């Protein structure tokens, strides 16, 4: 049987998403993991880093559900929230509202050319975080210089590495860390260098691999850079295709950046 699913594709600095209203998924609701894997495939599907399903709960309050390209569940994604916020605003005219992720309510504000999302607070002490000495011993052989590393919880797990690596070794380390017993559910890995109060980030996302940008990685990198006294607030996080502005207000992290519409249409789902 054939189901035609209306979709919108957007990206935030190259971090791309296929976004679908929950009401447009009929039989697909029974196996969203499989649908996510099919749609996100860049050869046989539409292609994206994450698949986003959303619905309106009540006035100015929306729910967002996220899937990686391997079908795994994503707790939070700042770039997806920014893209979805822009889409909702264009559809409804609302300029301020809340998007609910799995464990956080994300307050969104639509600016003239950008979208701001309050990502809330991060944590540097959680049960899932392993000893940094153990992780350092795994990473150090691949580094030209390794100055520091730290785990950050942004509702999803991040490891931020401050050091110098070749591009090929970033890929090796990112992949290697997914298979360690220390990170049972995988970990998002940010390779960070600092220059002139700007944070340059290369990101490996669990369940997706290397991506051009990641909102929660921007938060993790900014928060850890603040903690080590390497930058001041506000600061810019630099990705391959552009920047995300980060600031701290009363412990909350505010992320501001551009979003881009790519396409809209119908995806043919056979079941």
Dist CA 77 CA 81 (whole Å): 6
- For 14-25, what is the mean pLDDT? 94
Sequence ranges of the domains in the chain: 2-121+257-270, 132-247
pLDDT tens across 33-49, in order? 999 999 999 999 999 99
Express as a percent the part of the chain with pLDDT over 90: 87
pLDDT of res. 25: 86
Which residues, in sequence order, are bridge partners of residue 74?
66
- What are the residues facing 2 on neighbouring strands? 270
pLDDT at 269: 87
Tens of pLDDT, residues 231-258: 999 999 999 999 999 999 999 999 999 9
Provide the token pair at 263.
């396409």
Assigned CATH class of 132-247: alpha beta
CA–CA separation, 32 and 14 (whole Å): 24
Tokens of 155: 């509702």
Cβ density class 245-262: b for 16+ within 10 Å, e for less: bbebeeeebbbbbbbeee
Catalytic residues: 77, 214
Residue 106, H or E segment:
strand 105-110
Arithmetic mean of pLDDT, 115-140: 95
Say whether pLDDT at 28 is over 70: no
- Average pLDDT, integer, range 176-191: 92
Question: Which has more pLDDT, 241 or 103?
Answer: 241
For domain 2-121+257-270, give the fold: Diaminopimelate Epimerase; Chain A, domain 1 (3.10.310)
CB 99 within 8 A of CB 128: no
Residue 29 has pLDDT above 80, yes or no: no
Query: What Rg value do the Cα atoms of the chain yield, rounded?
Result: 18
Average pLDDT, the chain: 94
Stronger pLDDT, 10 or 270, i.e. the higher one:
10
Asked if the domains 2-121+257-270 and 132-247 are classified in one and the same CATH topology, the answer is yes
């Amino acid at each position: 049987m054939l189901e035609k699913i209306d979709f919108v594709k957007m990206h935030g600095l190259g971090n791309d998403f296929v976004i679908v209203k929950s009401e447009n998924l009929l039989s697909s609701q029974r196996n969203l993991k499989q649908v996510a894997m099919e749609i996100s495939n860049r050869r046989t599907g539409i292609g994206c880093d994450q698949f986003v399903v959303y619905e309106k709960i009540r006035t100015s309050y929306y729910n967002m559900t996220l899937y990686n390209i391997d079908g795994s569940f994503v707790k939070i994604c700042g770039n997806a929230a920014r893209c979805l916020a822009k889409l909702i605003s264009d559809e409804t005219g609302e300029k301020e509202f809340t998007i609910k992720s799995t464990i956080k309510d994300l307050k969104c504000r639509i600016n003239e050319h950008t979208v701001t999302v309050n990502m809330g607070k991060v944590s540097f002490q959680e049960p899932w975080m392993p000893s940094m000495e153990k992780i350092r011993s795994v990473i150090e052989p691949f580094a030209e210089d390794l100055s520091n590393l730290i785990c950050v919880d942004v509702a999803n797990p991040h490891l931020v590495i401050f050091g110098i690596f070749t591009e090929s070794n970033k890929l090796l380390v990112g992949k290697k860390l997914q298979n360690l017993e220390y990170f049972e559910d995988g970990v998002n890995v940010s390779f960070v260098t600092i220059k002139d109060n700007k944070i340059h980030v290369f990101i490996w996302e669990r369940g997706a691999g290397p991506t051009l940008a990641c909102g929660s990685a921007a938060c993790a990198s900014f928060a850890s850079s603040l903690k080590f006294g390497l930058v001041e607030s506000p600061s810019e996080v630099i990705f391959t295709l552009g920047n995300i502005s980060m600031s701290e207000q009363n412990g909350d992290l505010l992320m501001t950046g551009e979003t881009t519409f790519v396409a809209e249409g119908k995806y043919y789902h056979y079941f």
